[in-house]
Structure 1
Amino acid sequence: MYLSNNPVLQHELLANLRMPRAFLLLAAYIGLLGVVVMLAWPEAQKVDLAQPEEAKRLVNLFFLGQYLLASLMAPSFAAGAITGEKERLSFEMLLASPLRPGAIVLGKLLAALTHLGILMLCSLPIVMLCLPLGGVSAYEVFAAYFAMITSVALFGVISLWASSIFQRTSASLVVSYLLILPLAMLGVLMWNALGRVGGIRLAVILVFFPAVCLTLSTVLWRQACRRLLYPADLGSGGAEVIDLESESQKSVGLYIKRDEFPDKLFAPPKRTTFIEDGVNPIYDKEMRSEIFAQGTLMLRVVIQVSMALAIPIMACALYIWPWYAPWYIAYVILFNMLVGPVFSAGSVCSERERQTLDLLLVTLITPWQMMWGKLLSGLRVSSVLTGFLLWPVLLACVMPGIGFLTNLPTMAGYMLIVAFTCLTTAMTALAASTLFRKSSTALIASYLVVVTLFAAPVAARFFTETFFRGAPASSAVEAMQSTSPLAAAFALPLSIERGERGQTNLAQAAGEPYIVLGFFGWSVAYNLVVLGLIVWLFRSRWRVAD
């Protein structure tokens, strides 16, 4: 029943692999990798096999790009495996079936990983074209694919484990990404660090790395099975019964006191009195009950994991080597890219999923109040959570001996960049929530837009500097940097003495003001356009007048 006659596995495979989006995703995935290899292919008529450095860069770029793509796609396949059953109100029936919890979890996991496995295996012909260039052996190709498959399998188990804990796919997605992205970056750093010692890298990849992934996967798989074997109390419709007070008392680590500062900034207590005159009822509902109706577990996990990751980055990039301050700002921006859309992508979709949108539209609340209530509630929570990571920057500014006091305009620029990033992610997610019908679809669409706008220009610049330095297309790539807050953070001037020699990073000290000004100008224009789109959708789609 675990493999041969597993109805969960059979149903998931038939439902996922026969859908049109499976073929479209496969075509887009292979097409993207093929375009990257074609653009980076050596231009020389004859390749010098005695100096295969260019071929090595091409193959490494192919592997690392595919590894990051597969890592980012793993949660989108597995994070909604069990939460989807809860949202469709079929979780209770699944638990009442004669299937064992291990068979259910294994079926969900294999169905999610099968699609990813097909994507990775279909890329083999492309990498085989690179082997004749030299510099990489077939053993290294096998080791790279083996490490990629084992690590992506671990990421799938992490996503499935998160799906067994949380009630909503959005919460499962954000926690999965929060845990997977540091592991993926660690894998990239290990691959690059061991690049010069090929024998040791092969041993680590073929022995140590799979053992660690298998151990972690086994532990998380058993916990997911136990979660299904001993489920929480279920109420009407198969929804989990959550008592916020008991949840806070039993919580491990962070304890959220909703009536005290600063917890009430992002998790205000439930209202026990009537709403005052002039208060937006949508905003009050969202902040006090809607966002945290499923408990504060996701919020506590996000805060604790983000703070744990921020401590070493903060120590290195702000206090030990302060000239790396843009890297800490980049971490804050990445955190908001991950968390920002979560609290806005389900603003309108959740009303559809609960079938309460019609009730909302027949009230006296205007579309303008609906829009601003939904927008400000999600923006407030994501901004406060992101702001928790900015207090070390303010502390570093007032500490003597670091050098930030002479760079106060730059530090203020960092704050503005983060603020514009928070606004852009929230606006994008709210627009996606008005366009799509499911919260998970709106969240994934928001991630795609945000990653394309923020991270794609930086990746394109790295690609052109590696393979097309000085080419005419590099000017167009430079212009694309204006859409990325990451590029804007690194473009701000920062002049700090390095070590005892008093050396300064001259390129960074000079700055690139056109990128910074372009980012602020583009952000204002983009958010105004998105705001106009949201207003038009609120007014025209539902035909509600002020």
Structure 2
Amino acid sequence: MYLTQNPVLQHELLSNLRRPRAFWLLAAYVGLLGAFVLLAWPQSQVLDMAQPEEAKRLVGLFFLGQYLLASLMAPSFAAGAITGEKERDSFEMLIASPLKPGAIVLGKLFAALAHLGVLMVCSLPIVMLCLPLGGVSPYEVGAAYVGMIASVGLFGVISLWASSYFGRTSSSLVVSYLMILPLAMGAVLLWNLLGQNSDLRLLSATVLAPIFCLGVSAVLWRDACRKLLEPGDLGSGGRDAIDLETEASEAVGLYIDRESFPDRLFAPPKRNDFLEEGANPIYDKEMRSEIFSQGTLMLRLVIQISMVLAIPLMAVCLFVAPQWAPWYVAYVLLFNMLVGPVFSAGSVSSERERQTLDLLLVTLITPWQMLWGKLLSGLRVSTVLTGFLMWPVALACLMPVPYWQSPMNILTLLGYFLIVLLACLTTSLTSLVCSALFRKTTTSLITSYALIGVMFLAPAAARFFADTFYSPAAAERVAVLGVASPFSASAALPLVIKRDDGGLVSQGQAIGEPMTFFVHLGWALAYNLVLLGVIVWLFRSRWRVSE
């Protein structure tokens, strides 16, 4: 019942692995890893087998890239396993079937991880091409795969556990990413720290990591089964019937009070009177109804997880070692990359899914009201949540800390705020355009993540790759791509901090040039203006004709 005769597992495997996108994804995954190995292959005609440092770097970065790719892909396969049933109005029938909750969860989990496992196994021939270069033993390759499979399996269980608690795939996806990314980065740091001790690294990858992952997975799997066995109040189609007052009274940890500050910045209070004359009904609906239609659990988890991670980063990067301030800004930008699309990627596609877009288009509401109502509602929530993480930077501007040693530092901190604001606008507009182009919110959200990730992270990754495997001249040419990335722009701003011995620690000049900041501002403004033009055209002409 759990594996051999599990109808959930059989149905999910057939529906997922037989789709054309499964083959396209496999081709893209293997092709990307193959291109990485081809570009990073040692350029010298003769290799010194006694010191195969280039081969070690190649294999190390190969596994790093594959691990990060698999970690980022795991939620996309598993985060919608149960929420997808709720969105398709089939969840009520599923829990009413004679299948045990454990069989349902296990079938969903194995089906979600099967495709990801196929991708990782298909990359094995590529890494085998690197073994003749020397420096890496087959035992290390096997240990890397064991540790990677165990941790990616844990990430799948985390995503499936989050899927059991939410009614929307977008909410499950963002919470999964917020939980998975710190674990993935911690695993990468631990792997690198153990680089000088091969025996301990092999022990950790083959024994300690699988035991830890299996233990945590068992706890989360049991909790997900309990959630299916004891579902909440269900409405039409198996959707959760959520009462905000009851949820607030039973909330553990953070409590969102829509009547008080600062909660009302992103959660305006309920409307008790008629809409004001001239007000935008789309904006009012989005702010007061759409965000809270599935409760406040997702918002509470997002705020609490982000704050818990921000506290140590804030202490170290802003006050203990102020020269590391760009790393804290990078954390804020990464948070906005994950959270920003959630509130805009379903703005239009959700209307299609509920079959209310036709009704909306025949109202007296103008296309411009629809546009800025949808845009500003998502932008407001994502900007406020991101702004909660920027208050330590504002505090650093006010306190007499080492930033005041140079007037340029204050301008740099203000530049960080400008970069983050533009990043919030970019993530919201990109997600809104994707929502207008795609009919499913899940497709819109995944596409938004892919586009924003490529634009924000790919330039920094390309620069690191060029610095590792190519000459400084080639690295400088690749650095031109950094103008599209807010990470590169924040790292390029000058920051001068005095050491205790009287010396100076300069941040920014070694990574880039301050001019990168101004070029990035121009690029971001131009990009957002183009997106705004596209979305205006969609709202004014495309739907009026096609819908």
The TM tier, using the shorter chain, reads over 0.9
Instruction: Give the structure 1 partner of residue 39 of structure 2.
Output: 39
- Tell me the residue number matched to 2:494: 493
- Mapped pair 1:275 → 2:279: no
CA distance in 2: counterparts of 1:207 and 1:404, whole angstroms: 49
Partner of 2:528: 527
> Would the alpha carbon gap of residues 500 and 252 (structure 1) be closer, same or farther in structure 2, given more than 3 Å must change?
farther
Q: Secondary structure at the match of 1:233?
A: coil
Map of 1:540 onto structure 2: 541
- Residue by residue, what CA displacement relative to the aligned partner does 1:445-489 show, whole Å, maximum 9, x if unpaired? 000000000000000000000001234x43441111000000000
Quick check: 1:334 aligned with 2:359?
Answer: no
Residues 35-74 of structure 1 aligned to structure 2 (within 5 Å): 35-74=35-74
What is the match of residue 199 of structure 1?
199
Displacement of 1:500 in angstroms is 3.3
SS in 2 for 1:495: strand
Q: CA offset at residue 405 of structure 1?
A: 6.1
Scaled by the length of structure 2, what TM-score is found? Answer: 0.98
Q: Taking structure 1 as reference, are residues 188 and 509 closer, same or farther at Cα in structure 2, changes over 3 Å only? A: closer
Partner amino acid, structure 1, of 2:353: E
Per-residue CA shift, 1:352-404, capped at 9, x if unaligned?
11111111111100111001000000000000000000111111122223324
**3-state SS of paired residue (2:129):** helix
Q: Single out whichever of 436-445 and 511-520 deviates more from structure 2.
A: 511-520
Gaps of 5+ in 2: none
Mark the CA change 1:544 to 1:282 in structure 2 (over 3 Å): closer, same or farther: farther
- 1:209, CA displacement in angstroms? 1.1
Structure 2 contact 403–410 (Cα < 8 Å) conserved: no
Tell me the residue number matched to 2:98: 98
- After superposition, residues 369-518 of structure 1 pair within 5 angstroms as 369-404=369-404, 406=406, 407-471=409-473, 473-505=474-506, 508=509, 512-518=513-519
Equivalent residues of 1:346, 1:433 under 8 A apart: yes
Distance 2:107 2:542 in 1: 40
Of 507-516 and 183-192, deviating more is 507-516
Q: What corresponds to 2:242 in structure 1?
A: 242
Q: Identify the residue that residue 182 of structure 2 maps to in structure 1.
A: 182
1:508 Cα deviation (Å)? Answer: 3.5
Q: Equivalent residue of 1:455, what SS?
A: helix
- Encode CA deviations 1:477-513: one digit per residue, 9 max, x unaligned: 1111000000000000100113335332265389612
Of residues 328-337 and 42-51 in structure 1, the stretch that sits farther from structure 2 once superposed is 42-51
Instruction: Give the secondary-structure state (helix, strand or coil) at the position aligned to 2:225.
Output: helix
Give aligned pairs, total.
544
Question: Is the contact made by 1:71 and 1:152 (CA closer than 8 Å) also made in structure 2?
Answer: yes
* Structure 2 residue 280 is the aligned partner of structure 1 residue 285: no
- TM-aligned CA distance change 1:199 to 1:149, over 3 Å: same
Q: How far apart are the structure 2 equivalents of 1:345 and 1:57?
A: 38
Counterpart residue number, 2:221: 221
Q: What is the identity percentage for the equivalent residue pairs of Structure 1 and Structure 2?
A: 69
The aligned amino acid for 2:531 is V
Q: Secondary structure at the match of 1:278?
A: coil
In 2, distance between residues paired with 1:401 and 1:122? 52
* Residue pair 1:404, 1:411 contacting (<8 A) in 2 also: no
In the aligned structure 2, how far is the partner of 1:255 from the partner of 1:53?
A: 53
Q: Which amino acid aligns with 1:503?
A: L
Residues 412 and 494, structure 2, Cα contact 8 Å, conserved in 1 = yes
Q: After TM superposition, give the deviation of residue 544 of structure 1 in Å.
A: 7.5
Match in the other structure for 2:313 = 313
1:65-214 map, 5 Å? 65-214=65-214
Counterparts in 2 of 1:405 and 1:390: CA distance versus 1, 3 Å:
farther
> 1:499 is paired with a residue of what secondary structure?
coil
One-letter code aligned to 1:389: L
Q: Which moved more, 1:220-229 or 1:503-512?
A: 503-512
1:194 is displaced (CA, Å) by 0.4
- Tell me the amino acid that sits aligned with residue 288 of structure 2: R
Partner of 2:364: 364
Structure 2 CA distance for aligned equivalents of residues 469 and 509 of structure 1 = 16
Structure 1: unaligned runs, 5 residues or longer:
none
Give the root-mean-square deviation of aligned CA atoms: 1.3
SS in 2 for 1:504: strand
Distance in structure 1 (CA, Å) of the matches to 2:540 and 2:396: 47
Where 2:496 maps in the other structure, the secondary structure is coil
Per-residue Cα deviation, 1:31-66 (whole angstroms, up to 9, x for no partner): 000000001001122211100111000000000000
Question: Is the 8 Å Cα contact of residues 8 and 107 (structure 1) preserved in structure 2?
Answer: yes
Superposed displacement of residue 80, structure 1: 0.2
CA pair 323-373 structure 1, distance change in 2 beyond 3 A: same
Q: Is the partner of 1:443 in helix, strand or coil?
A: helix
**Matched-pair contact (CA < 8 Å) for 1:339–1:382:** yes
What amino acid maps onto 2:503 in structure 1?
G
